[in-house]
Amino acid sequence: MNDRYDSIREPYQQRILSADSHILEQPDLWTSRMDTKWRDRAPRIESLDETGDYFVIDGMRPRPLAFEGPMADLKAEGIEIPKPKGYRYDESIRPGCYDPDERMKDQDIDGVAGELIYPGLGLFMALAPDPDYQLAACQTYNNWLAEFCGAYPQRLKGMAILPTVGDLGAAADEAERAQKLGLTGVTLPVVVPDRPYNLAEWDTLWERLQALKMPCALHVGGGQETFGRFRGPGAGAIIVCGGRFDFNITLQQVIWGGAPERFPTMKWVLTEGGIGWIAAALEYADQQWSAGAEWMDPRLPQPPSFYFKRNFAATFEDDRAGVLTRDFVHADTLLWGSDYPHTEGVWPFSRKQIAYDFAGIADADTRKMVHDNAVSIFGFPAN
């Protein structure tokens, strides 16, 4: 047993849905499925040296496997995570990461009735510089994800990945194709350094997604090379802890760029960025809007908090501070997720984590954040 949860005697008892969970793609997903012209460059998992397995994507440095799955078992056993790399796919990955039947067993252990599924390696596809390669890799992943979720369509809702380089019309076409495959929404990296989200060129995609009624998740990681971004003592902690707040820049880009004003029924979801920072960010943005500064162009008709409450949602897994600020951002915008099987995830203690984070919170608000909002935004069955 994990000592952290020993004191929580009464886990949350009602039905819960995870708005942020992940798979870990099979090592040969792209090498076996992509068109033969890409096989030599296809994304893959391989052993590069004695330090363990790595994700390899054309155009980016190899990424250690460790953070994407092996640590789930360690956390479940209450074992302190010993190292950031040195793990092998075949030796350390839970079958529930890539096998839908095994996944159902893991989620039954955790008491999770349904999950919104995000990628593992696929999160980092946006770093590939070749537009044709990136689109082909996204299409391959989306085909496989549709098969994976199709095994249990009432419990597994898949989020397609889209290319971020090249023609955004091609990204919009892929979103439409993914919807026809049965996928629920799309995901983009929270940061695209060379193509920030305040640029009007993104309207090509937002317009199509709004028409398709497909939510767009802006997910932590993937859009920038985080490893090597900081150096010196504590670099790893700086990356993990500081990078979460990239979400505020992205939130401000989308809102101040005017996209929610132009696309009033579009839904953006800030995924795996926590929620405790949102109230302060919106309060400050509203203050600046109220001041009417001349440098604000365009001048938004409504304050930023208006657009957040209407057009945004945000996910969290362990964020008591955020739950306590729910009245400032509206409980209808917040969604809990287990983040299975990642390092910051709470599997297999999700019900105990909810009992802790939501202690003293009104039942109606709790149910919105752990169930109802996922039903209304992503189409899970209500019961």
As a whole number, mean pLDDT of residues 177-186 equals: 98
Placement of tokens 């993990």 in the chain: 240
Of the candidates 274, 285, 271, 173, the residue with the CA atom closest to the CA atom of residue 223: 271
Q: What pLDDT is attached to residue 230?
A: 59
Convert the pLDDT of each residue in 191-250 to its tens digit: 998 899 999 999 999 999 999 999 999 998 765 555 455 567 876 677 667 767 789 999
Query: Which CATH homologous superfamily contains domain 3-24+99-378?
Result: Metal-dependent hydrolases (3.20.20.140)
- pLDDT exceeds 70 at position 356: yes
Per-residue pLDDT band at 169 (split at 50, 70, 90): very high
The whole-angstrom separation of Cα 58 and Cα 31 is: 13
Half-sphere exposure for 269 (CA within 13 Å, toward CB): 28
The residues pairing with 187 across neighbouring beta strands, listed in sequence order, are 161, 217
In this prediction, residue 319 has a pLDDT band, given cuts at 50, 70 and 90, of very high
Structural domain boundaries in the chain: 3-24+99-378
Find, among 172, 166, 233, the residue nearest to 208 by Cα.
172
Sign, CA torsion 245/247/249/255:
negative
Q: How far apart are CA 301 and CA 165, in angstroms?
A: 31
Global confidence as pTM: 0.94
Residue 142's pLDDT is what? 98
- Distance of alpha carbon 317 from alpha carbon 332, whole angstroms: 16
- Determine the angle formed by the axes of helices 168-181 and 131-150, rounding to 10 degrees: 10
- Alpha-carbon gap, residue 81 to 72, rounded angstroms: 10
The Cα 27–Cα 24 span in angstroms is 9
pLDDT at site 227 = 47
| Band of pLDDT at residue 272, cut at 50, 70 and 90 | very high
Q: Give the mean pLDDT of 29-37.
A: 95
What pLDDT does residue 232 have? 78
Range of 11-20, 38-47, 84-93, 124-133 with top mean pLDDT: 11-20
Cβ(64)–Cβ(84) below 8 Å: yes
Exposed / middle / buried, residue 361 (Cβ in 10 Å: 0-12, 13-18, 19+) = middle
As given in the structure block, the two tokens for residue 144 are 């496989």
Residue with token string 């199509």: 208
